[in-house]
A and B are shown apart, each in its own frame.
Chain A
Amino acid sequence: MTMTERPDLAAELRAAILSADPRLSKFSPLRRILTYDDFNSGAHGWTELLGNYNGNGDLSTVDDHMRDFRPPQLSNCSFFDIGSHGAMTGSYALKLATRPYEGHTATAIRRLTMSGRGLLQIEAYFTFKAEATVDGSAGDQFGDVTWDGNLHPSEAQFGCFTVATDLCGDGGLRYHTVARYLNTTLDNTLSRQWVYPTVPEPTPREHLEGKVKLAYGADFTAPNPEDWQPFGEPQELCYNEVPTKVNWHYLRWVIDTGARRSVELQVNDRVMDMSSIPVPPYEERYDSLENLLNFYFSVRTHSSVRNFLFLDSVLISTEW
């Protein structure tokens, strides 16, 4: 057998190797695997996001809405009722946890740079939960959900989670691609809708220039709710009734850094075309960010209940 007889032999071999590896066979990576994280050996560079500070390291100069995004945690998904749930791959997952403060956001960011242009993909197995309430203060109703033995008010206590990029290159042209699962609206009504922002994220430089000043708890990705638009149809995920059952979901998101666009988002059995979604860049050019390639996940509570986003594993791959 020669390569001439089997022109797709390299692709077949690659597929066989990937499918035989239990770590990778649950992913569909592009040509080059840039990072693979399963969180049984640390946080793998996923870290807290913090706004910029002045030359004296004075953290009081950090924007109020970007000063408390909370450190990610290595969690074995333990709960008050059943003990340790464990992750999908081994014992540990990366956990993002908000404060129990309406509007508060927790983040984890991974900082890389681009060695080319073209297709870029992030895949993850994730789940999302609101913190259980056990002190008798919760009741059986929250938002538009009343406990009926199946649907649990905890589900309405979860706000939203987001996966996004911060990308810059080609002379300081900076932009974000963003996909958010809006589980509930700000008034705690189930929405279950994927949304994207129509404006770029406010930056510390814009604050320093007097253009924007946001309060603690503001939505740092796009603070005005009117600047978010839906894409795709509403999608029900597997919250699984109560706040202490964990079911892992698959996410695959493709971006084209050559065209500076999102391409498509797959979440479980749903694939959503994102190619027509506008990605507005910043009008001004940025220094010090050439080839910036950041991914972040965030979780935001719309209630006074802590919200959690758990990541079992994340794989970033590229076609360059």
Chain B
Amino acid sequence: MRQVQTAVLERDTTFDADFATEPYEVAWAGEARWFVHTLSASGEDVAVRLVTQISPDGLTWCDLDGHEHVVTGPGLVTWPVERFGQWLRLRGTVTGGNPSAKLRIYLTAKS
């Protein structure tokens, strides 16, 4: 049976500035998927742009690919992640007038 692990990296956290999630080790996993649940968002033209980042040591990071996933309001956004290194995290860029977004960020990983 394959191993699966779901981690809640941010739990109903309100973001009003750029951020990065805490490092999460997935050396054992062959595939992963982000689920970003936006519970609420406010501000003029609010947008949160999310990019998957990888790291060999949990200290130094780079983008995995050129894909930006944009959140503008409540709902669930998801995308798969493949061929990553030891660690995964998300970096988020928050834009708009007085922007604010409450996010629940799940990382699901599978062997």
Which residues from chain A sit less than 8 Å from chain B, CB to CB? 41-43, 48, 50, 59-60, 67-68, 70-71, 73-76, 78-80, 84, 91-92, 95, 97, 99, 131-132, 134
Contact = CB atoms under 8 A, between A and B. Distances in A.
B26 to A, nearest CB: 8
Nearest to B106: A71
A73 B86 contact: no
Q: Majority SS of interface residues in chain B?
A: loop
Contacts of A91: 28
A108 to B, nearest CB: 12
A75 B57 contact: no
Nearest to A68: B11
A60 B104 CA distance: 12
Q: Number of contact residues on B: which range applies?
A: 10 to 19
Contacts of A50: 11
B15 interface: no
Given A97-B22, A97-B23, A60 B12 contact: yes
B27 interface: yes
A24 B7 CA distance: 30
Nearest to A100: B22
Interface of B: 3, 5, 7-9, 11-12, 22-25, 27-28, 56-60, 86
B5 A74 contact: yes
Contacts of B12: 59-60
Contacts of B28: 74, 76, 91-92
Contacts of A59: 11-12
16 contacts: A42-B3, A42-B5, A68-B11, A71-B8, A73-B24, A75-B27, A78-B25, A78-B27, A78-B56, A78-B57, A80-B59, A80-B60, A84-B27, A95-B25, A97-B22, A134-B60
Contact of A73 (B3, B7, B56, B57): B7
A179 B9 CA distance: 28
